[in-house]
Structure 1
């Protein structure tokens, strides 16, 4: 089955009643975990971005504490899993400020992680890529935020 274009979907959704739209959203949320998470973000957390960022940061800190440090393979897998979840959270928000905040926190956690990531080349490269991503996003922000985040970035 070929998927319809966004334009066609928009036209069709505009013609539906509010009751039908609710039914469609609920049906969509049953199929994919990501769809359900996005719908939860839009309904419950999009209004308070600061609380959303703090919640994600708390989850991230807890996940860093739970990483198995017995082997570098477990460390890589654990950090990769955390980064995937952070990127998903960034996609849900769609705001550049949230992206910078979460990536800065991720990099700070990664830098403070023991054993040091400097001994594991893959993790050092991952850290460097995230710093570069932050550098690319900062110029898109308001001037005051650019300065504040620039200072935080230099600390890392």
Structure 2
């Protein structure tokens, strides 16, 4: 089965009335949790633009506090799971500053919860990859914002 292009989908959506569009969106939100969370953030970010960042940080903080970082194997598995969750949330937002804030939050918590103390190469590589991701995102920003975030990046290094 060939999936239609976005142009074709947009054209077909233009033929639907408001009630049909509403039903389609509700069906999509029932299909997966990711669709539901994306819809939630899109609907409510007008009232509170920081809602997405706050909720993701709260969720990651809870997961960091629950995870086991006592031995290097458990710490490695937990760090990888947390990174997957972070990446899933990063896909929902295209705003570069929000992505940088979330990755910085993740890196600070990796340090704070003692994941880096084990010296495990997988955890260190994961941390270094996140720092490189921050550097790439900073290069896309305006010069004034670059200066602010580079100070934060230096602190993490």
TM-score for both structures, normalised by structure 2: 0.90
| Aligned Cα root-mean-square deviation (Å) | 1.7
Q: Find the counterpart in structure 2 of residue 114 from structure 1.
A: 114
Distance 1:94 1:129 in 2: 19
Structure 1: how far apart are the matches of 2:53 and 2:124? Answer: 25
Mapped partners of 1:90, 1:46: distance in 2: 19
Change (3 A) 1:154 1:92: same
Asked if 1:148 is matched to 2:148, the reply is yes
Distance 1:9 1:115 in 2: 45
TM-score, length basis structure 1: 0.91
* Alignment partners' CA distance in 2, 1:6 and 1:117: 47
Q: CA deviation at 1:118?
A: 4.9
Equivalent residues of 2:79, 2:115 under 8 A apart? no
Structure 1: stretches of 5+ with no match in the other structure: none
Partner of 2:2, secondary structure, is: coil
1:55: Cα distance to partner? 2.2
Greater Cα shift, 104-113 or 93-102: 104-113
* Aligned residue-pair number: 156
Give per-residue Cα distances to partners, 1:69-94, cap 9 Å, x unaligned: 34323222222221122112221111
Verify the 8 A CA contact 1:30 1:36 in the aligned structure 2.
yes
Contact 1:138–1:150 (8 Å) recurs in 2: yes
1:52-71 aligned within 5 A? 52-71=52-71
